[in-house]
Chains A and B, each alone.
Chain A
Amino acid sequence: MAQKGLNRALALLGPLEARIMRVIWSGEVDERFTVRDIQQEMSELAYTTIMTTAVRLAAKGLLHARAIPQQKAHEYRVALTPEEFLTRASRQDVAQLVRRYGEAALIAFAARIDGLDPDQRTRLRELGKP
């Protein structure tokens, strides 16, 4: 089940992001890690490539980044578990989904009442009161 959640979460990311987050979420690096730590696990990737991707993952809220005093490098730690990331993505998705596909693919219980005249709005609110 955890593996399924991990795979679903990784599927929401770009290919490179997913490779790096798999290493991180699988616990192949320590709780606090640097770009160098990840590179030791993924020697086929360049340092700058991992660094750029880590910055992007931090911008997406998946990683916390903290500058290491007196060094240029940053220290990272996980901000969201796969399940938390899935939940957050889904919260955003459900609204976006209906907005995007509500015209054709989904038959949504959607209504926009801001265009109604004031009298209709008042009567609707009164009728809807329990």
Chain B
Amino acid sequence: MKRYWVVIGGAALLVLACGSWLATCRLPGTCASMAPPLRWPFAIVLAGGALFGAMTIAWVTRVVWILAQGTRAVQRMQRAPTPAALPIGAARAGARRVECVTGEAPVAFCHGGFRPSIVVSAGLVRELSPDELVAVLAHEQHHLRRGDPLRRAMQQAMAEVLFWLPVVDWWANRGREASELAADRAAIGRAGRSPLAGALWKLGSYPESFGTAAFAGAAELRVAQVLGDDLPCQPVPVSLWVGSAAGGLIALNSAWCVAHLFGSA
């Protein structure tokens, strides 16, 4: 899905840049020289405002879309009778708004924008020991308390909308890792290291493991934390700075071309 947006966004940028160049510029990258100097400030403010407005609308729309997709999918799921172990585990973990859905696979997640809730599968309750269940519920409760589903949707949408700044995607991934590590610390505080390690082991080695490629890195950090190992320092790679600088320049150039269009209109 992300690649799709990158391709669409890249194509749109290309069309915009080419269109503005063909319409107004004699040489690529020299649009600025074509605008009457006195109208530059107005044109730049207008183009910058239009760019910012379009990005903001795209961002808000994407956030709403992400949250709505998740909510709609969860609503379709079949609710299961609450297993006896679940309310006990939820009380021990201090977890609120916990629902159980049918499903053999051990799954737990937090979802929802403004009133998040925790969903666990019946298979999870069967698969985990009582202490491991407390660890998982405490982990999800931490996400719920901080409103992480909304935060994560906002970060994800921002990374997609600002695809031409790869450093934003890097920042969103680090944010996701940080929130997972914080939730694990909350789980350790509630249940201890051993139950969390047991839950990570069982869910991570389940035949249909749900971790995605992006989560694989978070898994390494989470395991390192639960084992008490040092967490690696992760500076922003130079290539990301370079890529972001190039992306920023291209975007600025496009905005400049649009500004010229406005200015010469």
Contacts and interface: CB of A to CB of B under 8 A. Distances in A.
Contact of A124 (B111, B129, B195, B223): B223
A115 to B, nearest CB: 5
The majority secondary structure among interface residues of chain B is helix
B37 to A, nearest CB: 45
Interface stretch (B21-29, B51-59, B206-214, B239-247): B206-214
Given A90-B78, A105-B149, A107-B110, A128 B202 contact: yes
A102 B211 CA distance: 8
Contact of B107 (A95, A111, A120, A129): A95
The majority secondary structure among interface residues of chain A is helix
A109 B195 CA distance: 14
Contact of B194 (A95, A107, A109, A128): A128
| Size category of the binding interface on chain B | 35 or more
| Size category of the binding interface on chain A | 35 or more
Interface string B189-218: 000011101111111110011111011101
A114 B209 contact: yes
Interface in A1-31: 8, 11-12
Interface string A102-130: 11111111111111100010011101111
B136 interface: yes
Contacts of A102: 109, 210, 212, 215
A105 B109 CA distance: 10
A115 B223 CA distance: 11
B230 interface: no
A51 B139 CA distance: 51
A109 B108 CA distance: 6
Contacts of A94: 77, 101-103, 105, 107, 121
A111 B199 CA distance: 10
Contacts of B223: 111, 113, 116, 120, 124
15 contacts: A87-B78, A89-B78, A94-B77, A94-B101, A101-B66, A101-B73, A104-B66, A107-B179, A108-B108, A111-B209, A111-B222, A113-B219, A124-B223, A128-B199, A130-B131
Nearest 4 pairs of A and B residues by beta carbon? A105-B70, A112-B211, A128-B198, A113-B204
